[in-house]
Amino acid sequence: MNCQVCGRTLGQKDDPLSVDCGGDCWGCIGEIEAAQGWEPSLEKVREEFALGLRPSWTDPSSCC
């Protein structure tokens, strides 16, 4: 099964962003929730950014 947003294959052992979040991948859902200020997701996405899993992500708190 693939993410309905980006098409990523879900549930890949070697891809931590491919976790199935109800038909969408954590890669997409995490960014959406972080952008909306959901603190648990924002913390996790920040960790993933620091690990290099989200190289192009921009922390919403650094904007504007």
Number of domains observed in the structure of the chain: 1
Is residue 40 included in any domain, yes or no?
yes
Q: 22 is in which domain, residue-wise?
A: 1-54
d(CA 20, CA 59): 23
pLDDT value of residue 62: 80
Is residue 63 included in any domain, yes or no?
no
Is residue 59 included in any domain, yes or no?
no
Is residue 60 included in any domain, yes or no?
no
Instruction: Say which residues have a Cβ less than 8 Å from residue 16's Cβ, sequence separation at least 6.
Output: 26, 48, 53
Is residue 6 included in any domain, yes or no?
yes
List residues bridging with 20 in a β-sheet: 25
Is residue 25 included in any domain, yes or no?
yes
Instruction: Say which residues have a Cβ less than 8 Å from residue 24's Cβ, sequence separation at least 6.
Output: 3, 4, 5
Is residue 44 included in any domain, yes or no?
yes
- Scan for tokens 């199935």, then name that residue: 20
pLDDT value of residue 37: 93
Is residue 1 included in any domain, yes or no?
yes
Ranges of the chain whose pLDDT falls below 50: none
